[in-house]
């Protein structure tokens, strides 16, 4: 695509999201003239993908739209710190799925006289966010998004009220991510401390709206309850005394918000690692235990006793353990001699602990991991492992 004669400067707002991360994903992009007039809008789905893939897809669509209107210079605004920092050259693109997308975006950038990237809060990116949601909503109905679904041109940038994050449950939580705390993994790596022990602190997220109703959430991106946010603050206060170097978190919002509370207490960087995501529950997502037992009695009995058994369309304990083990190896190498917090979910927490204990994953059925609990173990420089806490909740008693 070549640039046609057009406006000297445009503003591109782009966004993307995934309902499940990974899950059904889509993007939205809008091109504004400097006076706020809408020049072009783009939105579509990208199949099953992560938030980051969707964010990059939105940027690519926005740059292509800017080329189509003939812009010479572009200010690209996104609420994805990762994409902005990578496209600005300050962070490396390390994930294999991101590299071809970043390369395509760079090809488009080269076609303009200048492209500047700016991070903006989610509230200032609501137009693009809405387009992404509309594309995913249309796909869920078996339809294709078209520009006739949205408001007419002329809407200035940032004029809408902020939406909830793509794919979220809006009940009971208005907490926004403090996106500037997110770090590219390479940017957060400290210097190794050879000869020193490496300490792992495993934290389950605070109470969620579905958890309060005894519903299985799995990878549904449900928010924390007010009680869950208080729990997150309490465990943050407890962890402060360990002086961790970094906080790694599942990409789901309940963990990210818990991780943010910990990071705010410590001033430590936060790194999102998809391997810490909750187990996939498939057809059981959203149901209570009694409802699952009634509908799938044999499958539920197997799942509660056999780590190789999985929910229909879901993930077994053994599969979770297989993706957790490389994460633990990587953390041990990247943060050698430091203390690292892993904010995750019940099933991954259990698999981390059974791995540290070097026991069969079936031991997980005898381990309890409560919301906002703390578990911990230390790996000595010679490789010896000592588990020193499982499901510590004393900080929640108040």
Token pair for residue 135? Answer: 């594309």
| All structural domains of the chain | 9-149 (3.30.420.10), 179-396 (3.40.50.1240)
* Contact (CB, 8 A) for 250 and 347: no
Q: How far is CA 394 from the centre of its chain?
A: 28
pLDDT of residue 355: 96
* Ordered mean pLDDT values, 10 residues apiece, the chain (398 residues): 73 90 87 90 90 93 94 93 90 84 94 92 86 87 66 33 30 35 50 86 96 93 92 93 90 93 84 93 94 95 96 95 94 92 97 96 96 96 94 88
Tell me if residue 204 falls in helix, strand or coil. Answer: strand
If we measure between CA atoms, which residue out of 45, 2, 4, 5 comes closest to residue 27? 45
Tell me if residue 203 falls in helix, strand or coil. Answer: strand
- What backbone phi and psi angles, to 5 degrees, belong to 172? 80, 10
pLDDT of residue 154: 35
Element (H, E) at 313: none
In order, the DSSP letters of 40-69 are EEEEEEEEEE-HHHHHHHHHHHHHHHHHHT
pLDDT of residue 1: 57
Distance between CA atoms of residues 390 and 376, nearest Å: 7
pLDDT of residue 2: 56
Residue 72 DSSP code: S
Pairing mode, if any, of strands 246-249 and 339-344?
A: parallel
Q: How far is CA 223 from the centre of its chain?
A: 13
Token pair for residue 225? Answer: 């309850």
Residue 149's region, left for phi above 0, alpha for psi from -120 to 50, else beta, is alpha
If we measure between CA atoms, which residue out of 58, 155, 79 comes closest to residue 123? 79
Burial class (CB in 10 A: 0-12, 13-18, 19+), 237: middle
């Amino acid at each position: 695509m070549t640039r046609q004669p057009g406006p000297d400067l445009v503003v591109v707002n782009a966004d993307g999201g995934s309902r499940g991360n990974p899950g059904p994903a889509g993007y939205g992009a809008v091109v504004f003239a400097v006076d706020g007039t809408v020049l072009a809008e783009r939105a579509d789905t990208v199949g099953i993908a992560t938030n980051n893939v969707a964010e990059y897809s939105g940027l690519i669509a926005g740059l292509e739209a800017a080329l189509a209107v003939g812009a010479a210079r572009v200010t690209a605004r996104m609420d994805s710190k990762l994409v902005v920092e990578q496209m600005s050259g300050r962070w490396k693109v390390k994930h294999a799925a991101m590299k071809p997308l970043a390369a395509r975006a760079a090809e488009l950038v080269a076609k303009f006289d200048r492209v500047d990237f700016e991070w903006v809060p989610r509230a200032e990116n609501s137009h693009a966010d809405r387009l992404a949601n509309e594309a995913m909503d249309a796909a869920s109905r078996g339809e294709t998004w078209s520009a006739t679904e949205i408001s007419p041109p002329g809407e200035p940038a940032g004029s809408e009220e902020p939406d909830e994050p793509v794919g979220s449950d809006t009940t009971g939580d208005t907490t926004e991510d403090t996106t500037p705390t997110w770090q590219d993994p390479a940017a957060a790596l400290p210097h190794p401390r050879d000869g020193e022990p490496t300490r792992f602190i495993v934290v389950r997220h605070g109470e969620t709206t579905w958890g309060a109703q005894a519903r299985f959430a799995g990878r549904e991106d449900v928010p924390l309850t007010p009680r869950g946010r208080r729990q997150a603050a309490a465990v943050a206060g407890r962890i402060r005394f360990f002086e961790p170097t970094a906080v790694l978190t599942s990409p789901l919002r309940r963990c990210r918000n818990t991780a943010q509370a910990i990071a705010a207490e410590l001033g430590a960087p936060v790194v999102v690692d998809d391997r810490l995501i909750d187990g996939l529950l498939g057809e059981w997502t959203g149901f209570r235990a009694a409802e699952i037992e009634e509908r799938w009695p044999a499958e539920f009995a197997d799942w509660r006793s056999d780590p190789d058994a999985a929910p229909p369309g879901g993930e077994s304990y053994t599969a979770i353990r297989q993706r957790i083990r490389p994460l633990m190896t990587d953390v041990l190498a990247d943060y050698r001699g430091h203390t690292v917090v892993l904010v995750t979910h019940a099933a991954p927490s259990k698999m981390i602990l059974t791995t540290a204990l070097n026991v069969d994953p079936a031991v997980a059925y005898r381990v309890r991991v409560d919301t906002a609990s703390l578990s911990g173990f230390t790996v000595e420089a010679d490789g010896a492992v000592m588990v020193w806490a499982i499901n510590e909740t004393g900080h929640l008693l108040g």
